[in-house]
Homo-oligomer: A and B are copies of this chain.
């Protein structure tokens, strides 16, 4: 039911995924009359791989997370997360209110042993068609060094499992590369990471190096990660606006803009937190993928792909296993 575009986008994406993955079983949580009408319209109301889970309430996009948690027990979002908790579903994908999704998922699913807080993680483009995982994108704005250390571990597992890398290069985001740079939080985290044999820690990187393929995983707290990502999103939008503005200048610019805009827009989307594969909430007992509120059916279907990938790679189990191993070594 979530997202700026409502169930017609999420249901269209669901049917795409349904078609692409012959073994996929989808449980569509939301207002059942609306969903069944849609499925009937598309001749798949009787498909055994599509079930409807009635959830009459809707978490609004700007509702306060705690309000949604306390007052919307029958929302589609809550229902989907409950199904992951009970084991009836292996993953939840939502385009709804990010804060509410994080709060409800954290409350219902709880974190894995050894993990204090979940993190929001996403992949961004870097030079030469590479990709980089950036976390935390805003799940947790008050991170001490222990939490950042856990985030580095989780990011490393994601890069190994979802991106298929061996010994992914893990870096800490800082204001300079020298050891003396930064605040106490990053300095202490650097100390913890350099003592950990389970992480290929390569040191500090600066903001610009998110995109230079220096690292496969860039770790920072939710405040910095959120601001950095949204600043990039804002810059991308500004560039598009600027190209549009210039296209009104003369015919040459108009033609140029026509050709350049699709390229710029695709780059813009790729830095848009969860426009493509979605952003994953990791560190929980279960898989939760967040698609952009404004996602198209195509983008939302990528978020479903991401969830399927995480299920098949058993990401929460792998994270749990890794954290357990590191914790037992530290003790």
A209 and B182 within 8 A (CB)? no
B230 and A232 within 8 A (CB)? no
In the bound complex, how far is the Cα of B127 from the Cα of A235, in angstroms? Answer: 10
Which of the 9-residue segments A38-46, A85-93, A257-265 touches chain B? Answer: A257-265
A230 and B208 within 8 A (CB)? yes
Measured CB to CB, the closest approach of chain B to A237, in angstroms, equals 7
- Taking CB atoms, residues of chain B closer than 8 Å to A209 are 230, 234
Residue of B nearest to A178 (CB): B64
Q: State how many residues of chain A have any CB contact under 8 Å with chain B.
A: 56
Measured CB to CB, the closest approach of chain B to A196, in angstroms, equals 23
Which of the 9-residue segments A152-160, A221-229, A322-330 touches chain B? Answer: A221-229
B267 and A256 within 8 A (CB)? no
Measured CB to CB, the closest approach of chain B to A207, in angstroms, equals 3
A200: Cβ under 8 A from any B Cβ: no
Q: Name the contact of A173 in the complex, choosing from B128, B178, B227, B263 (C-beta under 8 A).
A: B227
B237 and A263 within 8 A (CB)? no
In the bound complex, how far is the Cα of B207 from the Cα of A230, in angstroms? Answer: 5
Q: A211-B238, A232-B232, A234-B209 are in contact. Are A227 and B183 (CB under 8 A)?
A: no
A2: Cβ under 8 A from any B Cβ: no
Measured CB to CB, the closest approach of chain B to A118, in angstroms, equals 15
- Taking CB atoms, residues of chain B closer than 8 Å to A128 are 245
Q: Which residues of A contact B (CB under 8 A)?
A: 64, 99, 125-128, 138, 141-142, 173-176, 178, 180, 182-184, 206-212, 220, 222-224, 226-239, 241-243, 245-246, 252, 256, 259-260, 263-264, 267, 271
Given A126-B238, A207-B229, A208-B231, output 4 extra A-B contacts at Cβ < 8 Å. A208-B234, A212-B234, A239-B239, A242-B267
